Chain A
Amino acid sequence: MSAPFYKLGAFGDEASLIVAFLIGIGFGFFLERAGFGSAKKLVSQFYLNDLAVFKVMFTAIVTAMLGVTYLSWAGFLDLSLVYLVPTYWVAQVVGGLVLGVGFVVGGYCPGTSVAATATGRLDGLVFVVGFAAGTLGFALVFPLVKGLYAAGDIGTRTLPEVLGIPYGILVFGVVLMAVGGFMGATWVERKMATRAVPAKATE
């Protein structure tokens, strides 16, 4: 086992910040290259005429999942050391809805708004200012929403545990879901392309 590198002490706290910086640059670069620096492209997702967001994100998930599976199968990665975000299902459902509404209304999600700002888009910058203010506001009212913050705490759960399905079969299931999703998404895009598109008409 030689990974995760940070957990096994391959580098310290300071070096971990540099690594995070480099990975962040890579992440931003690929977001921009996927066209996600544009609110129009992102919001097309919700009008079903361009499902690139869905495809890119699901591709990333499947790629990472297969990579992690094979690295740990090969004995290179110790999966038990990979940090898992605990499940607070009530808080996460509410948070997901807030993020979704913000995504449709603002045209960005936090990561893509930074990528958009970097390419000089004013709407991206406004969005960044907005979410910085929102973060600050959340911190200020935190005592009031503390109960919600940790609502639905069921600890760290993984799908193989919860569903009682062996890890490998679950991996295959997710790949099937992704490939099926891509085919479905392409079909939907073709279907919607033949109709008038309100989002593009108003721009």
Chain B
Amino acid sequence: MRFIPKLTLNQKLGVFALALGALAVFANVAPGHTVKVNAKELLTSVGRAEDHVTPAELAAWIVEGRSDYRLIDIRDEKSFAEYHIPTAENVPLATVLDGALGRTDKIVIYGDGGIHAAQAWMVLRGRGFAQVYTLLEGLDAWKDEVLFPVMPQTASPEEQARFERAVQVAKFFGGQPRAAAAPGSEPMALPTQALAPAVTPPTLPAGAGGGPKKKREGC
């Protein structure tokens, strides 16, 4: 290799760049389409129930007017237009990685049941979204537990008190309590989006959900 010292520094750098460039042909760089999953970490957080919030918890957050999280509805636009949980933003499942969500946001996602939200949860966690939660059992559980809570048939005073609170919350969200579910009973009509005026709601954050202000980027 006697010819190397004869090259000027610039020429050596050029050769070095060419070598790195040639090697880069084999680089497996596909931005935006792959996820790396730390399986152990994911399973542990599921096991510790750190992957979800319950409908009751979420209802309490909304009633309190908390704005330190973003509630994301991953169903399609049509379903979202028909009904969504107050303060939710619509980001359909296929587009969750397209930039609407920030890595550092605290995010609660829900779909109709629990499955689509769990799939989105896997993908988001794999892509480094640290604070993602699903709504346990999704909108189905939201309806059963928050909007239309069931009156316990034989209730202890304690259960009675809890039910009274649930009724207040249900009214707040425009739902109503119902008697113990009889098989084949009429499905309850979903409320319109407005929160019930009967209960004075604590001021909800303007702009539904309002995550941290997006910083303008560029040169």
Residues of A within 8 A of B (CB): 1, 7-9, 13, 62-63, 66, 69-70, 72-73, 75, 78-83, 85, 166-169, 171-172, 174-176, 178-179, 182
Contact = CB atoms under 8 A, between A and B. Distances in A.
B215 A169 contact: no
A72 B25 contact: no
Contact of B104 (A9, A83, A167, A176): A9
A81 B104 CA distance: 12
* Chain B interface size range: 20 to 34
Query: Helix, strand, loop or mixed for chain A's interface?
Result: helix
A83 B29 contact: no
Interface of B: 10, 14, 17-18, 20-22, 24-32, 36, 97, 102-104, 127-128, 130, 215, 217-219
B24 A69 contact: yes
A168 B29 contact: yes
B139 to A, nearest CB: 29
Interface centre among B36, B104, B130 (most CB of A within 10 A): B104
A71 B92 CA distance: 31
A176 B31 CA distance: 23
Given A8-B128, A80-B31, A80-B97, A182 B14 contact: yes
- Is chain B's binding surface mostly helix, strand, loop or mixed? loop
B104 A171 contact: no
A75 B26 CA distance: 15
A85 B218 CA distance: 7
Contacts of B27: 69-70, 73, 167-168, 171
A83 to B, nearest CB: 4
A172 B97 CA distance: 29
B128 A168 contact: no
Q: Give the top 4 A-B pairs by smallest Cβ distance, nearest first.
A: A175-B21, A79-B31, A9-B104, A80-B32
Given A7-B104, A169-B25, A172-B24, 5 more contacts: A70-B20, A79-B31, A83-B218, A174-B21, A175-B22
Contact of B26 (A9, A82, A168, A176): A168
